[in-house]
Structure 1
């Protein structure tokens, strides 16, 4: 694995190698650290907001409990109020109306409590006494009252219930709901039972909640909102507001999506002393509102990081390009010498290693020229046959020296590139040699799809050396297709066609994708590009040209050759199929038998 990785690095261009290590060692770690820091600040902001919400809910719970303790104490005192029992249970005569009026006038405890405690809005006692006249304090429990839920619940047990009930005695004739203490009063003297209702003044709670930074509500056990930061929420239910809390622990926090937004919800349940039912305090805040500033700062920081990284990347790119361009000049000089042009002079500025290598190259070429000149002068003294033999030997020597020299020079360049951390030139030369060697080795023998794809990959990497990041490619073959036998050089011409005709004239980035999949007893090989594409008329002309035996259109010789070899080997149904759309790209595919011994 390590050797393969090292070989892969050695095959990479110097420019790509510098960029690769910059991305791996600098860019990715910096981006990861930046992302972690941004997430940390975001989560920290959410955590602090959650803690603040829980503290606020606990504080509201304490203040609400203190408020509710006032009507509880008053109701406890009224349990033993003999004067209240006398007024409520006396049967008043219709002949003496002043008897009831005087009784009401003499009993002022309800009024005194309301005046003494701002937490209490009103006090009513509902009793089954038809001789009573309703005075907003003592009320006859007629059939309408007895049918209410709160009255029935109070008559079931001697406990305190906190309920959001109608104010039936509102002076304007309207019936707004009020948070009320509802409990049964038993009169031991008469054995009668009545229901005491103490309405709580929730104005204090609303004032308290209005100062909260987050949406906060107080609801009864049925989910009716009795007080809230938002006045429009009072009288509605938690379900209406999207805060259905359900069952669970008395104190809990959770996340919930409301109207497409993520909310953090904190719940705390308050059950006052001697009470069967209680109140639920709900506080919620939008996660987005809390992390907005953190996100904004994070985006600014991320933008600065990306900007700095891009500037550094550009610096690495231009530096690697400078190195690559000088190596390319030296490589072109080597190629000219390899072709026999000994008048070649390498002109590379600078006194670094590449500049020194250029000087050594010029010195070596000069020595070769002098050696050849000396051999030529010595051969003139011999016979014509001897001269011819010497020339043959010199040519043989040159044919041995040039590749050996080229190998040594390229190896020196490769080692220099390795030291510099840039190996794209060495990789390009290696790939080109590999491609040429493969082409020279190819005969009439069959080959595997894997070998074909190796050639294609070498060709594509050389093209990427030319086009840089403008070219992207994908090679994807199912494992069960790699050992399928097929005639050589069927795939590479299709890739070359996609690049030459589809992508080279494309100003933007281009991509080539090759897929090999097995379908039943056949293998489908598909090549697609996103290049210029063709009009329907042009597509028809291309399809006709590849089926013609005469090579009238030189630009499509490769496709014609592949198509005719497929047809001759496998039959007409296995020939090339082409689809294309102008401006979107071209797709070329063919099918061959999947058996290993299908082609010999």
Structure 2
């Protein structure tokens, strides 16, 4: 039971997903993840093989370095043993010489008849025997023992109870400091002398270093005694540079670590891995990786993408058509391709939409047309009734007051009443709600003349509507609303004289209506907010706004011009305000009623 509930929840969750998402989940879970897992296993196997190959290569380098050092060391140990056991050498260093000349003659004879040349003059090392025999003269391969007593190697050798010592040091040899590695042992084969003699075989350090460097190993090699680097192929100084120390962190990163025994000493060989195993594996197996990526990623992805598009694109087209459904019309799909179930569904929808459209056209639209005709007839009857009760008596009364003022020689009052009559006649005229800009300008002029009686010389105005601009039509009382706003809100708070400019002009493809005042102005934030409200004017905004007049005019312009109008405001506190209305000429010409007139005038 629980299993069925879980399955039903999963099915419900899948039903909430779009087809494109379902196909994406199927592609990831059934194609991409298994292929990635397979490729990861193959890559891991290749990486492991490459790692083992790299380890074997480093082990071979360690063996090669070990062989180089051990073979050289074995030769020196053999030479040392031969010198140690040579009776003629032991007798020579244990003899007593009466004078330097006696020593020289004996040394010359010794060199002629013994193996001295073979044993002592070896090219792989420098052989020196230090002895306490009386009469020995320092020089060549034989030195007096007291000459060695101040050396580090001799002090170390004397301090240890060893027959043979391997000693590495950076010390002065022949007036210069250099690296030295030596075998040292007692020459006590015949056990003569109080202190005996000491044999020292100094390695040819440069020869060994050269052999390691010239091998051109692919990895860095360190041969260390403790943490002191004896040999390296990375150029860690030469024979005349002190031994360096290998950091423990570097030693810990070695790919191969091998310890070799040199007599009683332990030397460590560190082989550092210089190769990026992952990079090497990729480089060596690049064709294989390319094939895996192509067949396991790109090819399945391309096929799944094509299948996805085959499903989703056509379903999206069907969804888009369904979203465009109106109350009185169903859109049909323009093109249908394929012969699968989705194509059948699309064709069936087109057939259904065609039948529904025919039904709507024959029944619904015909009934709607009859209703519109009935409404138009009722409006015409109502308009006829209104025209019959047009308040002519009001205009007659105003004319009587004007004539009475003229008789009384109250010309200013008569002029005011005349302008009021003009405004009232336009305001109550029945019929069309739209007038030409020329008529609107006359209304604006009458309004401003009335305002001059209020503001006196503080109000100056200029009206301009040249050429055919005056013949375009706009909603009644549009411009005068912005002019009234300029007078009331712009001039009332300013004591100085103010100008009001009302301009109509053409700018390229636009009809420009401007109302500008030099009054009090407003802040930038308030100006930007008002411009936004006018451009977004609607019944809802009009209900919530305090500036009903300007928004009402803006909304009526938008309704009249089918939204093809833009409003701009520019204002600065203490300087004034400019309201600009932009109407595309194409939209204005559609609404124009051909009339004659136009022009402009200025009054101060």
TM-score (norm 1): 0.50
Task: Classify 1:16/1:244 alpha carbon distance in 2 versus 1 (closer, same or farther; 3 Å).
Answer: closer
In 1: Cα distance, 2:187 partner to 2:311 partner: 98
Contact 1:178 1:200 in 2 (8 A): yes
Give the corresponding residue for 1:148.
151
Q: Is the 8 A contact 1:125 1:138 kept in 2?
A: yes
CA contact (8 A) 1:215 1:230 kept: no
Select which of 124, 130, 145 maps to 1:126. 130
The alpha-carbon distance between structure 1 residues 49 and 243, as it changes in their structure 2 partners (threshold 3 A), is farther
Instruction: Give the structure 2 partner of residue 294 of structure 1.
Output: 281
Give the CA deviation at 1:157.
1.6
RMSD: 4.6
Q: Does 1:221 align with 2:225?
A: yes
1:199 aligns with 2:205: no
SS at match of 2:255: strand
Q: Which residue of 1 aligns with 2:269?
A: 281
> 1:157/1:217 Cα in 2 relative to 1: closer, same or farther (>3 Å)?
farther
Superposed, 1:104-183 pairs within 5 Å as 104-108=107-111, 109-115=115-121, 118=123, 120-128=124-132, 131-142=135-146, 145-155=148-158, 156-165=160-169, 170=174, 173-183=175-185
Note the C-alpha offset of 1:296: 3.6
Q: Which residue is equivalent to 1:188? A: 191
The answer to whether the 8 Å contact 2:179/2:205 transfers is: no
Judging changes above 3 Å, is the alpha-carbon distance between structure 1 residues 355 and 13 closer, same or farther for their aligned structure 2 residues? same
Counterpart position of 1:57:
62
Q: Of the candidates 9, 12, 16, which is equivalent to residue 17 of structure 2?
A: 12
Q: Mean alpha-carbon deviation: is it higher for 156-165 or for 320-329? A: 320-329
Q: Which has the larger radius of gyration?
A: 2
Aligned-pair CA distance for 1:91: 4.7
Segments of structure 2 that go 5 or more residues without pairing to the other structure are 1-5, 365-522, 545-604
Are the aligned partners of 1:225 and 1:234 in contact in 2 as well (CA < 8 Å)?
no
Contact 2:131 2:145 in 1 (8 A): yes
Which consecutive unaligned segments of at least 5 residues does structure 1 have?
247-254, 257-263, 377-536, 562-600
Q: Please list, as runs of the form range in 1=range in 2, the aligned pairs for 1:228-377 lying within 5 A after superposition.
A: 228-229=232-233, 233-235=237-239, 239-240=244-245, 256=253, 264-272=254-262, 275-288=263-276, 291-296=278-283, 309-310=297-298, 313=301, 316-317=304-305, 319-334=307-322, 340-341=327-328, 345-346=332-333, 349-350=336-337, 351-364=339-352
**Contact 1:161/1:278 (<8 A) preserved:** no
TM-score with structure 2 length normalisation?
Answer: 0.50
Counterpart CA distance in 2 for 1:203 and 1:239 is 16
**Does the 8 Å CA contact 2:259/2:266 hold for their aligned counterparts?**
yes
- Relative to structure 1, is the Cα distance of residues 214 and 182 closer, same or farther in structure 2, using a 3 angstrom cutoff? farther
Q: Is the 8 A contact 2:170 2:242 kept in 1?
A: no
CA drift at 1:72: 1.9
- State the distance in 2 between where 1:175 and 1:372 align: 111
Shift in CA distance, 152/21, structure 1 to aligned 2, threshold 3 Å: same
- Provide closer, same or farther for how the CA distance between residues 301 and 220 of structure 1 changes in structure 2, counting only shifts above 3 A: closer
Q: For residues 212-249 of structure 1, what are the alpha-carbon distances to aligned partners after superposition, in whole Å with 9 as ceiling and x for unaligned?
A: 53346564625555544456544467755668777xxx
1: CA distance between counterparts of 2:196 and 2:294? 80
What residue in structure 2 maps to residue 67 of structure 1? 72
- The structure-2 alpha-carbon separation of the partners of 1:55 and 1:219, relative to structure 1 and needing over 3 Å to count, comes to closer
Q: CA deviation at 1:345?
A: 4.4
